[in-house]
Amino acid sequence: MGLSPLARSLHLVLLFFGIAVGLLGIAVLAISIGEAEPATLLLYTVVFGVYLCTAITAWWRRPGNLTGAIIMVGTLGILGTGLSTAHEPVLLAIGSVCATLVIAVMIHLLLAFPSGRVRDVPSRVIVLVAYVNSIILQAPAYLFMKRQGNPLFVVELPGLVRAADTCQSFIGVLVTVATAVVLVRRLRAADAPSRRVLAPLFAYGFFAVLFIPFSSGVLEGLLGVPGWVRGALQLAVLGGVPVAFTLGVLRGGFARAAGLGDLSHWVGVAGQERTAVEEALARTVGDPALTVVYWAGDRDTYIDAAGTPAVLPVAGERRAAVDVEIEGRRVGAIIYDASLIANADPVHEAARLAAIVLDRQRLTAELHASERALAASRAKIARADAAEPSNGIERLTARQREVLALIAQGRSNAAIARELVLTEKSVVNHTSRIYDALGLPVEADDHRRVRATIQYLAAIPTR
C-alpha cells in the first residue's frame, strides 16, 4: 500500500524537524562544553544523535504511538545533561533543571512500551513520582547551592540541599523497586513471543536506571575510577536505552503504521483481495497480527475469511475487537492487539473507512461458509450411504438427500435454495418427492417436515 501525498508530506516535515533539532543540539553542546575533552563532546553528540534518530524512527513507523514523543523528551534530557557544564547563564539554567530528567524518561519509556501509553494506575503513579523526583526535588540543588554563573541561585542552604538529595535518592530507590515489580508482572503475564521482545528491553532499561544514579558511588568511591571514565560509561549506558528499544521494535515486528489517509486512498481502489484488506488495516493501525472476522446473520455468528466460525476476544484480554457497521447493520469486527494499541480510536476510524470493502468480503466469507456446510451435509449423506439402509432414505436421490440434510438442520426453504443455488419452487418440489419416498402422506395430526427429519437422523450412523 503506497503512501498518500499527505503522509509523504508529514514524513518530510518530521525528517526536516529531526535534522533541525539535531543540528541545534550539536551546536548547543559544542558551545556548552566547548572547554571539555573532544572525546566527551563526541560522546555527548553520539548519544544525543542516537536518541534523536530513535525518536524519529519510532514516530515515523508508528505515528499514532507516543513512544517516539517519549524518546524525544529523552533527547532533550540528554541535551540538558550536557548543558549542566555550560558557562552561558541561560544554558546553565536549562542544564541544571534537566540534569536528572533522563532517568524519569527511562522509567516512562519502560512502563509505556510498546503502546507509548501508560495503561494502569500503578504505572501512572510511578511515572508521575519519577518526574516529580527528577524535576521538583532537583530544584534545591540549583536554588540553594552556590555555583559560579548559576542564574537560578537564591540563597545558600546546605542543610536543605542535603535533605533534598537524601529524599531524592530514597524516592528514586522506591520508584526503581516499584518499576521492577510492574515489569516482572508484565513479563509473567505475557506470552512467549512477547517475552522474547520485552525481556531484553526491560532488563537493559532496568540496568540503566540503576547504573546512572549509583555508578558515581560505586565506580569512583569504591573502585577509584576517574570521573571522566565514569561519565563516559554513564553516557554509553544511556545511549544503549534507545538502541535496546529499537531492537525490541525490530524483533517484535511492530510494523510502521501507514496512517488513515493512506487507508482512505487505498479503499478507493476496486478489486482488492482479502489478504490485501487485512494487510492494509494492519499497516494502518500498526498491528501486524490484526485479523478481520465477518458477521453471518443467518448463522448468528462470526466467521473468518475461510468461512470457519470465529469468536471475539473477551473484554480484558490482551486482544480486543472493534465492530464494523454500515448504517447500523453489522458487517464484522476487527481484532487487534490491545497491549500494542492502547487507544482504539484509530481502529474505529479504520473500521469506518474500510466498512464497504469489508462488506464485499463478507459475502465471499459467507459463500465459503455455505460451501463448508454443504460439504458437511454431503459427508453425512456419505456416512448414511455406508450404513444399513432404513426408513426409505436409500430411495432418495443425492439432491434430495442434500435437501433433507438441510431440512434436518432447521433451515427454511429460502435458506436451502440459497445454499444449493436453487429456486424455492425447486426446493418445494424436492421436498414433496422426499415425503413420497419416505411414505409420509398429508395428515392433520402430523408435521411431515419433522417426521422426515426424524427418519433422516435415525438413518445416520452415530460414530
Q: What is the pLDDT of residues 407-421, one digit of tens each?
A: 888 888 888 888 888
Task: Indicate if the pLDDT at residue 181 is higher than 50.
Answer: yes
| Burial zone of 242 (CB within 10 Å; 0-12 exposed, 13-18 middle, 19+ buried) | buried
Spatial distance between the Cα atoms of 3 and 92, rounded to a whole number of angstroms: 43
Task: Indicate if the pLDDT at residue 342 is higher than 70.
Answer: no
**CB of 397 closer than 8 Å to CB of 445:** no
Most confident of 107-111, 199-203, 248-252: 107-111
Spatial distance between the Cα atoms of 122 and 108, rounded to a whole number of angstroms: 12
Spatial distance between the Cα atoms of 21 and 14, rounded to a whole number of angstroms: 10
Q: Range with the lowest mean pLDDT among 76-85, 300-309, 383-392?
A: 383-392
Nearest to 213 by CA among 178, 244, 179, 171: 171
Per-residue pLDDT band for 167 (boundaries 50, 70, 90) equals very high
Nearest to 107 by CA among 202, 195, 240, 215: 202
Per-residue pLDDT band for 125 (boundaries 50, 70, 90) equals very high
Contacts of 191 (CB under 8 A, 6+ apart): 318
| pLDDT score recorded for residue 268 | 45
φ/ψ (deg, to 5) at 52: -65, -45
- Greater confidence, 360 or 380? 360
Residue range 95-106: average pLDDT? 84
Task: Indicate if the pLDDT at residue 29 is higher than 60.
Answer: no
| pLDDT score recorded for residue 24 | 61
Q: What is the pLDDT of residues 418-440, one digit of tens each?
A: 888 888 888 888 888 888 888 88
Q: What is the DSSP letter of 161?
A: H
Cell (9 digits) for 425: 419452487
| pLDDT score recorded for residue 324 | 87
Phi-psi region of 410 (alpha: psi -120 to 50; beta: other; left: phi over 0): left
Nearest to 303 by CA among 363, 344, 349, 376: 363
Domains contained in the chain, CATH given: 5-252 (1.20.1070), 260-369 (3.30.450.40), 387-459 (1.10.10.10)
Cell (9 digits) for 131: 518526574
| pLDDT score recorded for residue 86 | 67
φ/ψ (deg, to 5) at 322: -125, 130
Task: Indicate if the pLDDT at residue 30 is higher than 60.
Answer: no
| pLDDT score recorded for residue 130 | 92
Task: Indicate if the pLDDT at residue 163 is higher than 80.
Answer: yes
| pLDDT score recorded for residue 6 | 44
Q: What is the pLDDT of residues 193-248, one digit of tens each?
A: 677 777 777 888 878 877 776 676 666 666 777 766 777 787 788 888 877 766 66
Residue range 143-157: average pLDDT? 83
| pLDDT score recorded for residue 41 | 67
| Burial zone of 300 (CB within 10 Å; 0-12 exposed, 13-18 middle, 19+ buried) | exposed
Q: What is the pLDDT of residues 42-97, one digit of tens each?
A: 777 778 778 888 787 777 766 667 777 888 888 888 877 777 766 777 777 877 88
Task: Indicate if the pLDDT at residue 132 is higher than 90.
Answer: yes
Task: Indicate if the pLDDT at residue 2 is higher than 50.
Answer: no
Spatial distance between the Cα atoms of 114 and 456, rounded to a whole number of angstroms: 56
Decide: pTM greater than 0.85.
Answer: no
Residue range 119-144: average pLDDT? 89
Phi-psi region of 130 (alpha: psi -120 to 50; beta: other; left: phi over 0): alpha
| pLDDT score recorded for residue 12 | 56
Residue range 5-24: average pLDDT? 57
Q: Range with the lowest mean pLDDT among 23-27, 119-123, 151-155, 409-413?
A: 23-27
Compute the half-sphere exposure of residue 365: CA atoms within 13 Å on the CB side of its CA.
29
| pLDDT score recorded for residue 238 | 80
Most confident of 2-11, 127-136, 148-157, 454-463: 127-136
Cell (9 digits) for 423: 429456486
Task: Indicate if the pLDDT at residue 258 is higher than 50.
Answer: no
**CB of 311 closer than 8 Å to CB of 302:** yes
Q: What is the mean pLDDT of the chain?
A: 76
Residue range 386-396: average pLDDT? 65
* Secondary structure (DSSP) of 328-380: TEEEEEEEEETTT----HHHHHHHHHHHHHHHHHHHHHHHHHHHHHHHHHHHH
Task: Indicate if the pLDDT at residue 363 is higher than 90.
Answer: no
